[in-house]
Structures are given as structure tokens and as C-alpha cells.
Amino acid sequence: MTDIRLVATDLDATLLNREHMIPDDNKAALERCVKNGVEVVVATGRALSTIPAEVRGIEGVRYLVCANGANIYDNATEKLLYAMYLSREAVESVWDLMENAAVMKEIFWGGEPYTSRAAYDNLARFGVPDWFRDYVLSTRIPVDDLGAFTKEHIEQIENINFNYANYNIRDFLIDRLKIDDGRLYTLTASLPFNIEIGGVGVDKAGAVARVAEWLGIPREQCMCFGDNNNDVSMIKWAGVGVAVADGVQAATEAADYVTAPSSESGVARALERYGL
């Protein structure tokens, strides 16, 4: 049994299943954690507005780490407690990609995800698979001119996502973005068809560490769950890092423990194994 005082969990394909729902076992396990005095933190690549109500409704969940660590919110009040935006220079440095017609762009601003009307109406063209389409349509806000929208809010862009339809476009994006990676922005991914751009040094590990510091909880007493590349930093940082079995190789290799797949309530299984 480990003296864990904070549990931070990714959402998609970790706490949530393929249908973007939280299995009953996972929900009950987090509720038991809260009841036993363990702090439960959501740590997601999602924007605030897209976190499921059933997750936010778990009594005792106080902190929401969103946009891969760019924002930390108070769950009860939606008060923004911390923000690290992309710099104007960073956004301007990828402007040629923002205008590339072969790439689907998404902008996170004000806790909401925005995309162009042209992409919203033609998701298949940009590599968004059928199983993910309903989620995108129900969460993204389409705007007629995404470039103009971005320029209007350029000082407070939380995250930029590029979705691509094939590996040629992916390789083109990676080659172009790696020129400045680390100097102007941080690159990661949470899906097999996207690249996510955040501010310099922004990642889930840093945001969860900040919450733990607020609460006076040492790293050794933190457990972090994830499945994808954007989770690797916090899996490595945690005293106990846990990856679900169906996660990407980078996540499972970084983990101290690999639990059951997300489809089999892997979060609940791991919490039970560690006496939580």
C-alpha cells in the first residue's frame, strides 16, 4: 500500500472509454479516493468547456488542468487559477501553417475550442475518424475566419492543434514545427492524427506539480494516469506513474505500472492495486 495523497488522471482513453464516457468502476474508484482524503485532479488536453459533466460532477474534484497544462481552473467556480499562453511570436511563427488549406486547425481560447467552418463541415478530409467525429462536432465552435479570430485573441491562445489526414502531411508539419520547438513552443500529441502546440515549458507535469505544491503534497505521494504522448511528462514526474495497457509505447515505457486497458476500467484496477 502506497501513501498516495494526490491522484491526477488524463481523460480520453484513460479515465474515459472509447465513447468518451466514464465507466462506473472508474467513477466509483475516484469517489472512494475523495472520501478517503485523496485529492483528485483532472489533467487533460481538452479545453475546459469539453470536460464531461459527469467528471466535473464528482464531488471533491477541485482542480482541472486543461489544454495540456496551459490552464488550471477551480472546478466549482470555473475561476482561472493559472495560465501560460502561447506568445505572440510563437503564434506568428506558425502563421504559414494556419493558412495551409491541407491542415485542420483548432484554437483554444477562453476555455473553448474553435475551428474553421470549412474544417467543421468536412472533418473526414482532415483525417478525423468516424469514432471521433461526433465528439468534435459536439465540442468545437466553428468560425468563418479562424485566422482573423486568432489575430483578435493572439495574446491569450491556450493551445493550437493541427489535425492531418495522412503521414505526408504529418511529416511536413513535424519538419516545419521542429525548427523552433522548445524556443517558442512545446510540441506534443494526444491522438494518432494530431499535433498540439503549447507555450514554452507547458506540460501536464508542470501543472500537476503546481497543484501539488499549492496543497503541500510531495511528488512522491502523487499518482498520475495517462495513455498518450501528452501524458508522458506527468507519468515520469509522479511518485507512481501509471499507463493503461492500450496506451502508446512512450507512455507504457515511462510508467512504473501498466494497468488494464481503458476499456476495462484500468484506472479503477490500479487504484485498487495500490490500496486506494
The DSSP call for residue 87 is P
Query: The domain containing residue 265 runs over which residues?
Result: 6-83+202-273
Query: Are 20 and 78 members of one domain?
Result: yes
Q: How many domains does the chain have?
A: 2
Please indicate, yes or no, whether residues 216 and 194 belong to a single structural domain of this protein.
no
144 and 109 within one domain: yes
> Do the domain assignments include residue 1?
no
Distance CA 48, CA 167 (A): 30
Q: Are residues 93 and 152 in the same domain?
A: yes
Instruction: Select from 155, 180, 198 the last residue of a domain.
Output: 198
- Assess whether 155 and 246 both reside in one domain: no
Question: What integer pLDDT is reported at residue 119 of this predicted model?
Answer: 95
What whole-number distance in Å separates Cα of residue 201 and Cα of residue 183? 9
pLDDT tens track of the chain, all 276 residues? Answer: 469 999 999 999 999 998 899 999 999 999 999 999 999 999 999 999 999 999 999 999 999 999 999 999 999 999 999 999 999 999 999 999 999 988 999 999 999 999 999 999 999 999 999 999 999 999 999 999 999 999 999 999 999 999 999 989 999 999 999 887 779 999 999 998 999 999 999 999 999 999 999 999 999 999 999 999 999 999 999 999 999 999 999 999 999 999 999 999 999 999 999 988
Q: Please tell me the pTM assigned to this model.
A: 0.95
d(CA 85, CA 87): 6
Q: In this structure, are residues 165 and 126 in contact, taking their beta carbons and an 8 Å threshold?
A: yes
Q: Is 35 exposed, middle or buried (CB count within 10 Å of its CB: 0-12, 13-18, 19+)?
A: exposed
Q: Do 176 and 212 share a structural domain? A: no
Domain boundary, last residue among 158, 176, 198 = 198
Tell which of 198, 224, 239 closes a domain. Answer: 198
Residue 113 in domain = yes
Q: Across-strand partners of 259?
A: 244
